[in-house]
Structure 1
Amino acid sequence: MADPVSHAAESAHHGFDLLPIVVLLAAAVIAVPVFRRIGLGSVLGYLAAGLAIGPFGLGFFDDPQAIIHVAELGVVLFLFIIGLEMQPSRLWAMRGEIFGIGLAQVALAMFALVWVGILLGYPPEASFVAGTGFVLTSTAIVMQMLEERGQMGLPKGRRIVAILLLEDLAIVPLLALVAFLAPGGQEATLADRLQGVAIGLAAIVVLVLAGRYLLNPMFRLLARFGAREVMTAAALLVVLGAAVLMQAGGLSMAMGAFLAGVLLSESSFRHQLEADVEPFRGLLLGLFFLGVGMALDLNVIAANWVVIAISVPAFIILKMLVIYGVARLFKAERAESLERAVLMAQGGEFAFVLYAAATQFGILEPEWNANLAAIIILSMVLTPLMVILHDRLRPKSGVNMDGVEDVTGAGGLRGNVLLIGFGRVGQIVGQPLLARGHSISAIDNDTEMIQAAASFGFKVWYGDGARLDILHAAGAGSADLVVVATDKAETTTRIVEMLKHEFPLVPVLARAFDRGHAIELIAKGADYQIRETYESAVAMGREAVLRLGATEEEADELIADARARDRDRLALQSVDGIYAGRDLLLGNRDMPATGH
């Protein structure tokens, strides 16, 4: 009989190897912050890290495709989260963009890109597959960059999402077309094709019925009896189960996850699901980019550099021209059209699936498949660089000055109150002043805000309050009071500093972002400052004690006491420049200076 101790030791010795995981995490932790710090973005950081630790770097990994297949779950989870934000009504409202802009872009790009292969001397079938694969944009890269740029919820971001959804749907007929173009594929019976379509539709119907009648009752039951980790497991089960179902029906896993998200978008558990899935999504999506970086085969590039050097710019430029043209055709502005063309100029992860199927069916030779994979990966790598170049070189968007008058041409404003910043705070501050009969000179550098104010009968002048010449033109020297209500802390501080230096006798009231900013404004000489959330927080605190049984008098006394302590604490911090060593709130330890 074997010695159990020695057997356990041997199992431990030959057990799960943590080194690859440590290497992957270390590469991401080192590369991504560095690349973001130098302005190159997280996607390029992941790609560079993957290349560094892959077969052509330090050699920690020799099978990047295995990592890519696992990490594709990041794309799946990403689409699920996007689906959670897309209620059926909202998705229905996007149908014109999905089947209008999306279909036009896919069809025209396919027609344009096919000619690259034909002009390089490849057979028409292989050229069609090569060009079509490049049409399918990388959902992972585009979604990540939209999120980093804060454009996911904007109309132009939603239009890009609509196009990506159409491309995800297109993979199904494209795979069927690959089978048809294969040698002997035309002999497949009509019954076989109808059977494939029927299986796909059946998978969608099953998913819709499950989402409508099973998912919400399941989550209600788990919320009542399950543990917290069980809810997380259930969220992953729903996402991956939907992905597997769609894959079994011949559709893409990402589309299954998206549909599952849409079906749960109106559920009361939507936010809980999003919170459960988000950490896995971010980690796996980063792993996907690492895998793509590892998969860049430098030997293939070196051996076929002429073809690749021609194909990469040819595919990218042609695709950008089509995307730009379609965007302009559907009435998008030039700036949005160009930005969309740059963001979507690369090939995507679904191209690998299409090329693998074409190789299996004999349309592509293995060497062609390797070349095309290198072309797709290079286009992915180039995309973040193209976006950075676009952002730095694009002309500053022209400001629509219709109905907007520059304060420098006003001949000197004469209101007894100068209001700098006419946003949500400035508008409220101005109401009692106007009711009291004071004349207000209001300036702002947001033309849309100025135009909106004009539609309600308010005259706001265009001008940057952080410029001394603008302050003079706006009448700061002759004003009885200046109110600084800009929405950026550093801008407010700079304006207050200039006002107190240039016009020291004019009282200045300023909007502060938080306690630390309030202390900074006091140091710059502001006569009065107020944290933008302070009064609303005080009102909420008063309502809270009232609802918990306090009388009106008790509530007023508690609030007055809290205000007095806050004033004392702020005065102490402003004089000493520190907050520690004294508790004026609860007799223990004070709040940090950055608190509200």
Structure 2
Amino acid sequence: MNSGFTDILLLLAIAVVLVWAFRRVKLPAILAYLTAGIIAGPDVMAWIADPDEYHFVAELGVVLLLFSLGLEFSLPKMIAMRAHVFGLGAGQVFLCTAAFAGLGMLFVSDWSAAFIIGCTLALSSTAVVIKQLGESSQLTSRKGQMTVAVLLFQDIAVVPMLIVIPLLASNGEVSLWESLGYALLKGTGVVLVLMAIGKWVLPHVFREIAKLRTDELFVLATLLVALVAGGMTHLFGLSMALGAFLAGMMLGESKYKHQLEADIRPFRDILMGLFFITVGMQLDLTVFIANIHWIILIVLAVGLIKLVVVRLLAGAMHERAEDAWGSGLMLFQMGEFGFVLSSLALTFGLLEPQVASVLVGVGVFGMALTPLAIQQCKPIVGRILGAQEAEQQSSVPTPQDEKSRVLILGFGRVGQTIARFLTNEGIDYLAIDHDPKRVQEAVAGGSKVFFGNAIRRDILRAVHADEAELIIISFADDERALDVLKAIRNVNEHAEIIVRSRDDVRLQQMMNAGATQVVPDTLEASLMLVSQILSRSGIPIRRILSRLDQARRSHYGEMHGFYPGETTDMDPEKLDRLQFLHAVALPENAFGCGKKLVDLALDDLNLRIKSVRRGEQEFVEVHGDFTLQADDVVLLAGGPRAIEAGESYLLNG
């Protein structure tokens, strides 16, 4: 068997096992890929002797990642972000480069080497940060957009850095400013060409492709556009990722945006995995272990300086403290372009091999910590804010012995809608919300809302929750709603409590905890849709309202359970709480044939029989004396495991 094929096979095998293991313990897949690269690299198993052989293919993952990011950022949006890209981004690169170069002079005597160290550490990881922002749904948040703006400027700043390094080695033989000016001219030209093609050519191309309704052609065209755009910018000395981003940005305004993103996602994710594996392969374990104390210290120092620089710059731009700290935290690591700069400097003899190896160790270690830092961004920023947040909250109105007949807990969109209808009917209400900015905005608009956490008993006492007649829990966070529900029932046993829920997964738990009525978003949306359909089908409005009222009074009893499909969320944490429907056909020799339901005692398995179909006849309400026969189709309702057990019992006993 070809040794190259064997190497790839082993690499895929270790990647699959590690990703599975890391995801089982809720660790990011990026850490698994980095670990796979370290194991497969030259210092451990040496399956891949030369990581550079795979680096170009792996870099295509970053190209596709930036293309999909470009789809999220249209040209008007980028123009609106120009202050962040060229203000916050430029400030971060220049200040951090100067700071790290100054610190680098303490360890290396040559100013050229110190400058390269400064450039290398000033850059952050576009690949890791954007991937994690997307997975944690923070890409469109304010701090996410600030972070993307800085990363975009860093990608632009890489170009002059790559030009400067060979010039430093030439000892002044070539004019620095002439080279930079020429590069700027080429870069501007290729960007304008790409933007023109993206705006006036590509939409027509994809329109013609879409008319053919051939998925393969659409996928091929998408990949071709992303790679050609990256290739063009690379040809003119710019980053491939920047070209792909520009192409995506131009297509982000087209109606094919979502289809394009869906088409390249599988290729992007696989190649991104390969990219992180190649990053792991570059780590020199001997140097890493010998200098682990220095590497940890450098990662912490670099992260702290970037955090402070971004916070100060964003503060000067009047950004919220929470967003400024969050953006700085996300950018704390050294990026993949740092590897390119250090490798180039090593080639030209501007860096010592030991220093370059330490920089690679700093980069890999920082990247490994980044997913955890982004996942825990909010609590970390909360601790950093500390006294600032307490001071901010002290300026927010808090309940001081306030009383009202109706209490609304949560003043988001649903809570505000409820409040408007109550106001229109002249019903007095009082609302509590734990978002200080929302409370300030609402109070300024004349709403009767106070700051506070509804789970705290002192807050509940301050609003006289023990005397309220009607309490509405309006936020769609089921776990928090359960905690608040229990806290309310400890102080008020008689109030009617209406709880909003995302779905019916925790409906019974909430009813047991004391809810008067649970309103699941998904089921209520279904009822509203049904009411519109019945109304347009000529059913009298009185009968429709009666049907809806009956469904609500039975706590949506007839609506529980659904047929699962390939796209059904099978999260192990939710699985036990889901209610599925499953049809079981009874053959002649089935155990359940000829037996009464009372004898089968399916209730002991936490199962209900929704109906039994016998030929053309359907029995909707079946009782204990109902006898099952051969060829009956029994519709079971219950949890996934209960349904499996019930089917086995009906068929085999």
Instruction: Name the TM-score, length of structure 2 as normaliser.
Output: 0.77
Is the alpha carbon distance of 1:222 and 1:554 closer, same or farther for their aligned partners in structure 2, counting shifts above 3 Å? farther
- 1:289 alignment partner in structure 2: 276
Matched residue type, 1:444: D
Tell me if structure 2 keeps the 8 A contact 1:509–1:528.
yes
- 2:463 alignment partner in structure 1: 474
Q: What SS class does the counterpart of residue 430 from structure 2 fall into?
A: strand
1:222 aligns with 2:222: no
Q: Quick one: distance in 1 between partners of 2:81 and 2:181?
A: 28
- 1:453 alignment partner in structure 2: 442
- 1:62 alignment partner in structure 2: 49
Q: Quick one: distance in 2 between partners of 1:193 and 1:446?
A: 48
Alignment of 1:122-141 (within 5 A): 122-141=109-128
- 1:5 alignment partner in structure 2: none
Tell me if structure 2 keeps the 8 A contact 1:484–1:511.
yes
- 1:23 alignment partner in structure 2: 14
Structure with more contact order per residue of length (Cα contacts < 8 Å, sep ≥ 6): 1
Q: Quick one: distance in 1 between partners of 2:160 and 2:323?
A: 30
Q: What SS class does the counterpart of residue 101 from structure 2 fall into?
A: helix
Please point out which of 158, 163, 168 is paired with 1:176: 163
Q: Quick one: distance in 2 between partners of 1:269 and 1:217?
A: 11
Matched residue type, 2:390: G
Q: What SS class does the counterpart of residue 400 from structure 1 fall into?
A: helix
Alignment of 1:378-397 (within 5 A): 378-383=365-370, 391-392=379-380, 393-396=383-386, 397=389
1:543 aligns with 2:529: no
Tell me if structure 2 keeps the 8 A contact 1:425–1:485.
yes
Q: Quick one: distance in 1 between partners of 2:257 and 2:506?
A: 36
**What is the CA-CA distance between 1:377 and the residue it aligns to?**
2.7
- 2:610 alignment partner in structure 1: 582
Q: What SS class does the counterpart of residue 471 from structure 2 fall into?
A: strand
- 1:340 alignment partner in structure 2: 327
- 2:405 alignment partner in structure 1: 416
Structure 1: runs of 5 or more not aligned = 1-9
Is the alpha carbon distance of 1:490 and 1:347 closer, same or farther for their aligned partners in structure 2, counting shifts above 3 Å? closer
Q: Quick one: distance in 2 between partners of 1:83 and 1:556?
A: 52
1:151 aligns with 2:151: no
Q: What SS class does the counterpart of residue 492 from structure 1 fall into?
A: helix
**What is the CA-CA distance between 1:102 and the residue it aligns to?**
1.3
Q: Quick one: distance in 2 between partners of 1:500 and 1:311?
A: 52
Q: Quick one: distance in 2 between partners of 1:105 and 1:450?
A: 33
Q: Between 145-154 and 84-93, report the one with greater CA deviation.
A: 145-154
**What is the CA-CA distance between 1:139 and the residue it aligns to?**
0.9
Please point out which of 521, 527, 538 is paired with 1:552: 538
Of all paired residues, the percent bearing the same amino acid is: 31
Q: Quick one: distance in 1 between partners of 2:537 and 2:360?
A: 72
- 1:258 alignment partner in structure 2: 245
CA RMSD of aligned residues (A): 3.8
Q: Between 430-439 and 506-515, report the one with greater CA deviation.
A: 430-439
Is the alpha carbon distance of 1:472 and 1:142 closer, same or farther for their aligned partners in structure 2, counting shifts above 3 Å? same
Is the alpha carbon distance of 1:324 and 1:65 closer, same or farther for their aligned partners in structure 2, counting shifts above 3 Å? farther
Q: Quick one: distance in 1 between partners of 2:227 and 2:439?
A: 49
Is the alpha carbon distance of 1:530 and 1:584 closer, same or farther for their aligned partners in structure 2, counting shifts above 3 Å? farther
1:371-409 C-alpha deviation (Å, 9 max, x unpaired): 4333433343454566688745535443634664333x3
Is the alpha carbon distance of 1:389 and 1:584 closer, same or farther for their aligned partners in structure 2, counting shifts above 3 Å? same
1:408-436 C-alpha deviation (Å, 9 max, x unpaired): x31x52x2333333333333334454444
Please point out which of 90, 93, 96 is paired with 2:77: 90
Is the alpha carbon distance of 1:539 and 1:584 closer, same or farther for their aligned partners in structure 2, counting shifts above 3 Å? farther
Tell me if structure 2 keeps the 8 A contact 1:515–1:593.
no
Is the alpha carbon distance of 1:401 and 1:357 closer, same or farther for their aligned partners in structure 2, counting shifts above 3 Å? closer
Is the alpha carbon distance of 1:506 and 1:11 closer, same or farther for their aligned partners in structure 2, counting shifts above 3 Å? closer
**What is the CA-CA distance between 1:164 and the residue it aligns to?**
0.9
Q: Quick one: distance in 1 between partners of 2:396 and 2:296?
A: 50
**What is the CA-CA distance between 1:91 and the residue it aligns to?**
0.6
Q: Between 50-59 and 508-517, report the one with greater CA deviation.
A: 50-59
Structure 2: runs of 5 or more not aligned = 561-578, 580-602, 621-633, 641-653
Q: Quick one: distance in 2 between partners of 1:109 and 1:160?
A: 15
- 1:6 alignment partner in structure 2: none
- 1:7 alignment partner in structure 2: none
Please point out which of 506, 514, 519 is paired with 1:530: 519
Alignment of 1:338-377 (within 5 A): 338-364=325-351, 366=353, 368-377=355-364
Q: Between 561-570 and 216-225, report the one with greater CA deviation.
A: 561-570
Q: Quick one: distance in 1 between partners of 2:522 and 2:118?
A: 55
Tell me if structure 2 keeps the 8 A contact 1:222–1:231.
yes
Tell me if structure 2 keeps the 8 A contact 1:202–1:249.
no
1:142 aligns with 2:170: no
- 1:516 alignment partner in structure 2: 505
Matched residue type, 1:474: V
- 1:406 alignment partner in structure 2: 398
Is the alpha carbon distance of 1:389 and 1:515 closer, same or farther for their aligned partners in structure 2, counting shifts above 3 Å? closer
Q: Quick one: distance in 1 between partners of 2:266 and 2:108?
A: 47
**What is the CA-CA distance between 1:307 and the residue it aligns to?**
7.2
Tell me if structure 2 keeps the 8 A contact 1:399–1:447.
no
**What is the CA-CA distance between 1:32 and the residue it aligns to?**
3.9
1:490 aligns with 2:482: no
- 1:118 alignment partner in structure 2: 105
Q: What SS class does the counterpart of residue 530 from structure 1 fall into?
A: strand
Matched residue type, 1:553: I
Q: Quick one: distance in 2 between partners of 1:386 and 1:166?
A: 22
Matched residue type, 1:88: L
Tell me if structure 2 keeps the 8 A contact 1:116–1:311.
no
Q: Quick one: distance in 1 between partners of 2:5 and 2:395?
A: 75
- 2:25 alignment partner in structure 1: 34
**What is the CA-CA distance between 1:74 and the residue it aligns to?**
2.2
Is the alpha carbon distance of 1:156 and 1:583 closer, same or farther for their aligned partners in structure 2, counting shifts above 3 Å? same
Tell me if structure 1 keeps the 8 A contact 2:472–2:499.
yes
Q: What SS class does the counterpart of residue 486 from structure 1 fall into?
A: coil
Tell me if structure 2 keeps the 8 A contact 1:418–1:475.
no
Matched residue type, 1:231: F
- 1:505 alignment partner in structure 2: 494
Q: Quick one: distance in 1 between partners of 2:543 and 2:293?
A: 81
Tell me if structure 2 keeps the 8 A contact 1:102–1:163.
yes
- 2:591 alignment partner in structure 1: none
Q: Quick one: distance in 2 between partners of 1:589 and 1:559?
A: 28
Q: What SS class does the counterpart of residue 609 from structure 2 fall into?
A: coil
Q: What SS class does the counterpart of residue 483 from structure 2 fall into?
A: helix
Q: Between 537-546 and 349-358, report the one with greater CA deviation.
A: 537-546
**What is the CA-CA distance between 1:130 and the residue it aligns to?**
2.4
**What is the CA-CA distance between 1:258 and the residue it aligns to?**
0.6
Tell me if structure 1 keeps the 8 A contact 2:439–2:449.
yes
Q: What SS class does the counterpart of residue 70 from structure 1 fall into?
A: helix
Task: Say which structure is richer in helix.
Answer: 1
Tell me if structure 1 keeps the 8 A contact 2:167–2:176.
no
Tell me if structure 1 keeps the 8 A contact 2:229–2:247.
yes
Tell me if structure 1 keeps the 8 A contact 2:143–2:324.
no
**What is the CA-CA distance between 1:134 and the residue it aligns to?**
1.8
Tell me if structure 1 keeps the 8 A contact 2:477–2:501.
no
Is the alpha carbon distance of 1:95 and 1:580 closer, same or farther for their aligned partners in structure 2, counting shifts above 3 Å? same
Matched residue type, 1:458: S
Please point out which of 229, 237, 262 is paired with 1:275: 262
Instruction: Name the TM-score, length of structure 1 as normaliser.
Output: 0.83
Matched residue type, 2:20: V
Q: What SS class does the counterpart of residue 186 from structure 1 fall into?
A: coil
**What is the CA-CA distance between 1:354 and the residue it aligns to?**
2.1
